[in-house]
Amino acid sequence: MAMGDASVLNNFRIVLVGTLYSGNVGSVCRAMANMGFHDLVLAAPRICDDGTDAERMAVHATDLLANSRVVETFEEAIADCAFVVGTTARGGLYRQHVKSPRELAPSLLQLAANGKVALVFGREDKGLSNEEIMRCTHLIRIPVDPDYTSLNLSQAVLLCCYELYTAVGSYVAPVEKSEPAVMARKMRLMEIWRSMLLTVGFVKEDKLDHMLQGFQRIFSRGVYTDDDVSIMMGIARQAEWAADHKPRNS
């Protein structure tokens, strides 16, 4: 892919989780169209109005609105994505490795050259849950004045898409031997590690979810390709086998 090739933007998906207002959905479509993005998925929307504002706010992006998809769960929205970028305005232990859209844009463009990237935006009233943040491989926080940190949903989408659009000419796409692993595979990896950690006695049941959040951070930043996931799955399965076949003292 040549530098400056905006076709890489076709490998980004905008995911809106639990959206409340149809006008915001329409405004997001308009923002996406302005910046050359076309893939929109609504995960478990909770539209609380009559829905008529969506088309009005989309203006000339009604085709994008018509082609948007609605799915029942966040996991379904990201299942075929290799990388998931969550947006958060809140802090917390597992929200510390955030970067601004401008900082992260060049590396996201490189990732998108090899696999689908989801840009995830949470609910208007409370954002993304901790469980949803755990599914993200990267986190974005948009720099704003600390006295007023609340952004409209479509504003947040526009800012993130703008930084990606303007960064298109500043990267060289990498060449990766193995296909990137999609989120369905990565979530399966976490299920296998959950079982293995209990089997080998690495962690107690009451501490398991907290420990898995730490592993998720590690995997998210380093386990990118399908080959990587296969290797990590193999390690986990072998550890379980070894624990099950360990000789018992008489």
- What is the mean pLDDT for each group of 10 consecutive residues in the chain (250 residues)? 70 98 98 96 96 96 97 96 91 68 93 93 93 90 90 97 88 66 86 84 80 73 72 78 71
Q: What is the pLDDT of residue 250?
A: 46
Residue 5 DSSP one-character state: -
- 6-170 fold: Alpha/beta knot (3.40.1280)
Element (H, E) at 192: helix 183-199
Asked if 233 contacts 187 with a C-beta cutoff of 8 angstroms, the reply is: no
Q: What is the pLDDT of residues 189-210, one digit of tens each?
A: 888 888 888 887 777 888 888 7
Give the start-to-end residue ranges of the domains of the chain.
6-170, 183-244
Q: What is the pLDDT of residue 2?
A: 40
> CA torsion, points 224, 97, 163, 34, in degrees to nearest 10?
80
- Please provide the distance, in angstroms rounded to a whole number, between the alpha carbons at the two ends of the chain: 63
Asked if 205 contacts 198 with a C-beta cutoff of 8 angstroms, the reply is: yes
Asked if 114 contacts 57 with a C-beta cutoff of 8 angstroms, the reply is: no
Place of tokens 């089997």: 199
Q: What is the pLDDT of residue 165?
A: 93
